[in-house]
Amino acid sequence: MFFEAEGTSVRVVILDQALWADRQKVMDCIMRASASAGKVSRTYLALPKTAASVTDARIFQERGIGLFTYDQRNIEEALPARYFEVTNAFPHHVDDTTTSQLQNELRELRVEFAELEQAVQHLKEQLESSKEVFSPSRPAPAFTSRKQLPEVQVVASLPTFFAGNPWVEVLSRRGREEIGIVS
């Protein structure tokens, strides 16, 4: 939150109760508050009272950051923020060249956006037409033909290293089992 009145600007970074459990979110809030210290007249970090009780206020005091504590009923200034003299931290007027540059960029972005919309529309039309071409009007019949393979006979006159080898029968069934799985 940012407030400005009578030449004084105040930034308040609020740390919600739900965020207190996440250490990274707490550090992000502290870093945001620390980054604005010195760029505005006063910077505050607003913490739930339960969180403020375990916070080391010296860290904030060294950086000039104040602390607000809050609960269901009220808000209190637990640590006053250091006042920084800031001259024109946030300019109220922008020169005409910057405005015209921004307007030109916005115009270019709108043109690019319109081109992208047309491209997306064209791709949608192509996709719809390809669905019409490739989608069958009736479903294809299921493949039900099962061709019986002839039984492999183990020849009695095999070389001695084949005789009595159980792997011969296992290997002879290998091709037939794979066909059975496919169908």
pTM of full prediction above 0.75: no
> Does domain 2-79 sit in CATH 3.10.20?
no
Of the pLDDT bands very low, low, confident and very high (cuts 50, 70, 90), residue 133 is: low
pLDDT at res. 89: 46
Flag whether pLDDT at 138 surpasses 70: no
- pLDDT value at 88 more than 90: no
- Stronger pLDDT, 29 or 102, i.e. the higher one: 102
For the stretch 150-170, pLDDT in tens is 565 656 666 777 777 888 778
Query: Given a cut of 80, is residue 81 above it in pLDDT?
Result: yes
60 pLDDT more than 60: yes
Residue extent(s) of CATH 3.40.50 domains in the chain: 2-79
Both tokens of 132, joined, read 């019409």
More confident position, 149 or 169: 169
Rounded to the nearest integer, the mean pLDDT of the chain is 75
The residue among 87 and 72 whose pLDDT is bigger is: 72
